[in-house]
Amino acid sequence: MAVVVMKEYESLTKETVISLAIELSLFSSEAPLVCEEIGDGNLNYVFRVTDGSGEKGIIIKQALPYAKVIGESWPLTLKRAKIEASALQKHGEYAVGLVPKVYATDESLAITIMEDLSHLEIVREGLIKGKSYPKLSTDIGEYLALTLFNTSDFALHPFEKKSLVVEFSNPELCKITEDLIFTDPFFDHETNDFEPALQAEVEAIWNNNLLKLEVAKLKRSFLTEAEALLHGDLHTGSIFASEAETKVIDPEFAFYGPIGFDIGLFLGNLIVQSFTRQDDQRDAIHTHIQNTWNTFCAKFSECWKKGESDLYKSIEGYEAFVLEKIFHDSVGFAGCELIRRTIGLAHVKDLDSIENHEQRILTKKQTLKAGERLIVSRHEINSIDAVIELLGEIQ
Ligand SMILES: Nc1ncnc2c1ncn2[C@@H]1O[C@H](COP(=O)(O)OP(=O)(O)O)[C@@H](O)[C@H]1O
Ligand SMILES: CSC[C@H]1O[C@H](OP(=O)(O)O)[C@H](O)[C@@H]1O
């Protein structure tokens, strides 16, 4: 990967992106370059440059000094571009082929130049259309096990692990998660955004001290447990796929946190999708939920058996203890994701695009109920099949 040293920060336009692509010799000098801005996320600009044939493309993603969805009133560090590029590379070392290739970065412009994945589809969009992506859960289960195990103390020398903890210190992006996932939805906070028909359910959440105690414990794990290098925002909008391929993008929230957080966010987004489907279409999603966890466990155990880095790895019962903790954390984090995606600042299209008002409100009530039960009962839920059973009980 090249590191391009450019001038000071400026917000790129389609024209300056083309000049940059020429300056960096990313295409042959005669190619008639075309650029479009394709970013649909909350935070950054994403430019796609093609050579006119429409076939060869590259992606130039640029961080803005503020959150795009809110505007300049929400300043945000440009350092997130470097974190994202470094996390793509670090995760790519272990989850080979499951993340886009990074071609170049420039810290002062806050850009990452990477592989164009436009031949794939964002999983959230495909799932909403009823697709099921046969390889999704096997690939994501493996991605989770390989990235999380191999960046943890189970695999790394303690000096290397601690130096990665420092490299991936990401306080501003973590603060967004601390607020938007773990705090604001559980209090009457101005960032919340919910439909008036949900007022009673939302107030019940704000008044539920048992629920809030459990969320406080999960937030504490997020704040304090530097277990592995997380993606940090692994929702179905951060995954590209086809029938044959899966690629995880957008790890700008990467930092050292609890292993169950990435797993829980992915499962939470699958659970949201499950509630939006007709009964006869839910099985494909439930199979993905089960297979994600089962693949994660199988691959994590395979990694556990390799290498000698931690003498305690061979102690009877230790691996089972670790996996049990990760499972209960994952279930709780999934619950938080369900609640924040329903009533918090950042919604998901799976829910908001349900046109029929009654159906949309019913589905949102279900995601809230499921979220609450997953959080409060997570220590009594002892298998992934029990999660599926719980989903079936929610009317
Ligand atoms: N490598 C890529 N190849 C093709 N399209 C991409 C790529 N990365 C991002 N995109 C497009 O840009 C959108 C926003 O990208 P994302 O990284 O999620 O931005 P944000 O950080 O703002 O959420 C994606 O939903 C996708 O449509
Ligand atoms: C104001 S940030 C809200 C929300 O946006 C991020 O998602 P993405 O960058 O994928 O659009 C993240 O989930 C934050 O919680």
pLDDT per residue over 378-390, tens digit each? 999 999 999 999 9
Whether ipTM exceeds 0.95: yes
Strand partners, 47: 37, 60
Which of ligand 2's atoms lies nearest the C-alpha of 42?
11
Mutate to test the pocket of ligand 1, among 43, 46, 59, 64 (most ligand atoms within 8 A of CB): 46
Q: Which one, of 42, 39, 237, 234, lies nearest residue 128 by Cα?
A: 237
How far apart, in whole angstroms, are the C-alpha atoms of residue 149 and residue 225?
Answer: 14
Q: Which one, of 203, 201, 173, lies nearest residue 188 by Cα?
A: 203
Q: Where are the domains of the chain?
A: 2-115, 121-393
CA distances (Å), origin 220, targets 269, 343, 371: 22, 22, 18
Strand partners, 257: 228
Do residues 264 and 219 touch, judged by C-beta distance below 8 A?
A: no
Q: Between β-strands 102-106 and 2-3, what pairing exists: parallel, antiparallel or unpaired?
A: parallel
DSSP per residue, 193-252:
---GGGHHHHHHHHT-HHHHHHHHHHHHHHHH---EEE-S---GGGEEE-SS-EEE---T
Would you state the structure tokens that stand for residue 78, as one six-digit string? Answer: 């440009």
Q: Which one, of 391, 367, 319, 306, lies nearest residue 94 by Cα?
A: 306
pLDDT per residue over 178-221, tens digit each? 999 999 999 999 999 999 999 999 999 999 999 999 999 999 99
Give the pLDDT of residue 31. Answer: 86
Looking at 152-198, list the stretches that DSSP marks H as alpha helix, in order from N- to C-terminal side.
Answer: 158-167, 171-180
Residue 106 host element (H or E): strand 102-106
Which of ligand 2's atoms lies nearest the C-alpha of 69?
1
CA of 133 to the centre of ligand 1 (A): 19
Determine whether the shortest distance from the Cβ of 38 to ligand 2 is under 6 A.
no
pLDDT per residue over 248-298, tens digit each? 999 999 999 999 999 999 999 999 999 999 999 999 999 999 999 999 999
Do residues 46 and 68 touch, judged by C-beta distance below 8 A?
A: no
Assess whether the region 2-115 and the region 121-393 belong to the same CATH fold.
Answer: no
Mutate to test the pocket of ligand 2, among 73, 180, 184, 342 (most ligand atoms within 8 A of CB): 180
Q: Of the CATH numbers 3.40.50.300, 2.40.160.60, 2.60.40.1120, 3.90.1200.10, which one belongs to the domain with range 121-393?
A: 3.90.1200.10
> At CB < 8 A and 24+ separation, what contacts does 210-214 make?
210/376, 211/186, 211/372, 211/375, 211/376, 212/186, 214/332, 214/375, 214/376, 214/378
Q: Determine what percent of the chain falls in helix, strand and coil, rounding each to the nearest 5.
A: 55, 15, 35
How far apart, in whole angstroms, are the C-alpha atoms of residue 152 and residue 129?
Answer: 37
Q: Is the pLDDT of residue 370 over 90?
A: yes
How far apart, in whole angstroms, are the C-alpha atoms of residue 105 and residue 82?
Answer: 8
CA of 366 to the centre of ligand 2 (A): 23
CA distances (Å), origin 386, targets 140, 228, 235, 363: 21, 26, 22, 21
Give the pLDDT of residue 335. Answer: 99
* 347 pLDDT tier (thresholds 50, 70, 90): very high
- Model pTM greater than 0.90? yes
Give the pLDDT of residue 4. Answer: 62
**Chain centroid offset of residue 153 CA:** 22
Q: Of the CATH numbers 3.30.200.20, 3.40.225.10, 3.40.50.300, 3.30.70.580, which one belongs to the domain with range 2-115?
A: 3.30.200.20
340 is in an annotated binding site: yes
Give the pLDDT of residue 70. Answer: 87
250 is in an annotated binding site: yes
- When pLDDT is averaged across residues 359-372 and rounded to a whole number, the result is 98
* 71 Ramachandran zone, left/alpha/beta (phi>0; psi -120 to 50): left
CA distances (Å), origin 224, targets 125, 176, 221, 256: 34, 16, 5, 9
Q: Which residue's structure tokens are 């105690």?
A: 213
Q: Which of residues 309 and 211 earns the better pLDDT score?
A: 211
